[in-house]
Amino acid sequence: MTVGRKQRRERLLAAAQKAVAEHGADVRLKDVAQVAGLTSGAILYHFPDIQTLLVEANRAGMERFYDQRLKAISGSITPDRKLVVTIASGLPRDSEDEAVRLLCELGGAAGRYPRYAAMLTSLYDRQVAMYQVLLEDGAASGVFTLAQPSQTVARNIVALEDAYGYRMVARHSTIDHAAATQLILDYARLATGHLLDQPDPVGLDHTVPDAGVPA
Amino acid sequence: MTVGRKQRRERLLAAAQKAVAEHGADVRLKDVAQVAGLTSGAILYHFPDIQTLLVEANRAGMERFYDQRLKAISGSITPDRKLVVTIASGLPRDSEDEAVRLLCELGGAAGRYPRYAAMLTSLYDRQVAMYQVLLEDGAASGVFTLAQPSQTVARNIVALEDAYGYRMVARHSTIDHAAATQLILDYARLATGHLLDQPDPVGLDHTVPDAGVPA
DNA sequence: GGCGAATTTGAAGAGCCCTTCAGTGAATGT
DNA sequence: ACATTCACTGAAGGGCTCTTCAAATTCGCC
């Protein structure tokens, strides 16, 4: 057995996600096949038709995004650290971020695909709930002083993340990951009454540690 | 009688906008023709190909959206009224709002169509500038006490409008025009230090002014 | 009423897309 | 070694799309 039946399916789901991020929600079967390195027929051997594959792939893509956010939270300790890290994790790395591009494409198509609309609504609500827990937790421990109900703050934070995701995917010249993070933190500062100063190295360390012989 | 050459073109642009809002950025020529009540050939008599038509139509749709926002501003007098009215005018009426659906579709496709990305970036920046003027004006006249730079507040307000537009188009069950307006105003209140109480007749008065705002 | 220009139609060509399916290998089990 | 199952290919069918174009229709105007 090369890879097992289940893993093969997941490779196709991953290929479909990439294809949607690249070609839109109405991506062609041929494009998915090309990303997967197969022919159209091979894909239809694993899935009854292309819609079934896409719906499953898109759902999986959203769940993966949400799961990674939850994982990002669990790292930090204090509520303020958690908030900063979580906000940063909700934004695309750069304009090529595959997961966010997928979400943008689906968000655009949600108006005409009720299924995607429902999935995105659920995703939004869960993210809001996630932030609400974080905010209430911080308020209970006295770290945050909420100026507004936690639901209001949570809804606005997630909304800001979404919107700056779109702006970054559209390659806004001055709104990059750092700028967007600061803009959202500016709101969070007002809403929580906490300074929320950025920790130095959050793990995104692109600089080479310069160990070894320079050629 | 017909309508003159120019008006005929504009009818086609309007049809194309509606078609994009309904079928996405990759709408078919046939769909545009159907909305216009013509055949595909007739449309190609006025435009060299479908891409040219779509690019022009989408640009016109964005400009129209922006112009109507400017118009909405000019009505009110005081900065706080202006702010409330402008925020309300940036959100879709309901989930079927054609202009916002168009913007959502284009926003989703912006990742793979640099032209649309540039147009949307420009639209965003102009809306930010519009709010900046409004905020600075209010601050200068002492009505607002800005807690943050006007650019920060303006960027966040426009971002919130965008995001709630997407949520409404996706038919979120609890975020309608009124709820979204309040959420954005909640941020604006923190940022401007003004109460920003909603004026009664905003123009769209379908419901009894019963629940919601306490005395 | 009739003429020329503007507009629209309907058909046809070339091309792409999804899906089905017979057939090709490779892997697996016996 | 042989049969069987699995994974995949490549071709073919049927349908849809964009575009072109000759013919038909409508319009503005004299």
Which pLDDT belongs to residue A210?
46
| Interface-testing mutation among A156, A176, A181, with chain B (most B C-beta atoms within 10 A) | A156
Alpha carbons A131 and A69: distance in angstroms, whole number: 11
Which pLDDT belongs to residue B118?
98
Residue A24 lies in a domain: no
Residue A179 lies in a domain: yes
Report, as ranges of residue numbers, the positions in chain A whose pLDDT lies below 70: 1-3, 198-215
Which pLDDT belongs to residue A199?
63
Residue B203 lies in a domain: no
Residue A207 lies in a domain: no
pLDDT (tens, 9 = 90+) of chain B, 215 residues, equals 446 677 889 999 999 999 999 999 999 999 999 999 999 999 999 999 999 999 999 999 999 999 999 999 998 789 999 999 999 999 999 999 999 999 999 999 999 999 999 999 999 999 999 999 999 999 999 999 999 999 999 999 999 999 999 999 999 999 999 999 999 999 999 999 999 886 655 444 444 444 444 43
Which pLDDT belongs to residue A209?
47
CA dihedral B87, B93, B96, B101 (to 10 degrees): -20
Residue A204 lies in a domain: no
Which pLDDT belongs to residue B69?
96
Question: Quick check: B28 CB within 7 A of strand D?
Answer: yes
SS3 state of residue A27: coil
Which pLDDT belongs to residue B77?
85
Rounded distance in angstroms from the CA atom of residue B49 to the C1' atom of nucleotide D19: 8
Q: Which nucleotides of D are covered by protein (CB under 7 A)?
A: 6-11, 16-22, 27-28
Range of the domain at A169: 58-192
Residue B47 lies in a domain: no
Which pLDDT belongs to residue B200?
58
Which pLDDT belongs to residue A215?
37
Residue B140 lies in a domain: yes
Q: Which chain A residue has the Cα nearest residue B179?
A: A152
Residue A141 lies in a domain: yes
B89: closest CA of chain A, how far (Å)? 18
Which pLDDT belongs to residue B3?
60
Among residues B57, B34, B25, B16, which one has the least CA distance to residue A27?
B25
Q: What is the CATH number of the domain that holds A162?
A: 1.10.357.10
Q: Which of A109, A110, A167 sits opposite B124 (nearest CB)?
A: A167
Number of structural domains chain A divides into: 1
